[in-house]
Amino acid sequence: MTLRPLALVLAGAALLGLYQPASAQVCVGNPCSLTNAASVTVPVVLKLSLSSASSALTSPDSTAFNQGHQDDLSALTATVKANTAWSLKISGATATWGSSGLGARANKPVGDLAWSVTGGAPFNALSTSATGIASAGGTSGTTSTVSYRTAWNYTLDTPGTYTMDVVFTATAP
């Protein structure tokens, strides 16, 4: 009975003797040179930041209703940082604006919000399909200033609060 534990200890010692950790390179002589291969895998690095999580659009007055729209120039900025080619797209999250308030229009279309990156006209109607607004190669920071134009109609846009979630998507091919 006492031989069995001793046999286990000897077997374990023998197994430990078989284990040899990876050894470093050794050089003997003069001169003596060794090579060490340093490698790293660089992933796609892509960062999108918006200057604000929400944009308070200007409430329309009679002038806005008379001209059919209200401009909010420089509503926000979108900044992309990337170590490869990238593109920035914009879309509306839903086909219609969210609305609240007694009598608020429930079907104000996404296209009633238009966008521009030129600081003014021309404006492009927002849609639920993503549309490119900027693209470039690797950059330490490319900023696009986004302006909004909201369409207003006396007979359709009744009092209430209207909200459209605008989605910005940066991709690297």
Q: How far is Cα 161 from Cα 97, in angstroms, rounded to an integer?
A: 10
Domains annotated on the chain, with CATH: 46-52+59-171 (2.60.40)
| Token pair 């607004």: residue | 133
Segment 80-107, tens digit of pLDDT? 999 999 999 999 999 999 999 999 999 9
pLDDT of residue 173: 81
- pLDDT tens for residues 18-31? 555 556 899 999 99
| Cα(92)–Cα(17) distance, integer angstroms | 67
**Tens-digit pLDDT profile for residues 120-153:** 999 999 999 999 999 999 999 999 999 999 999 9
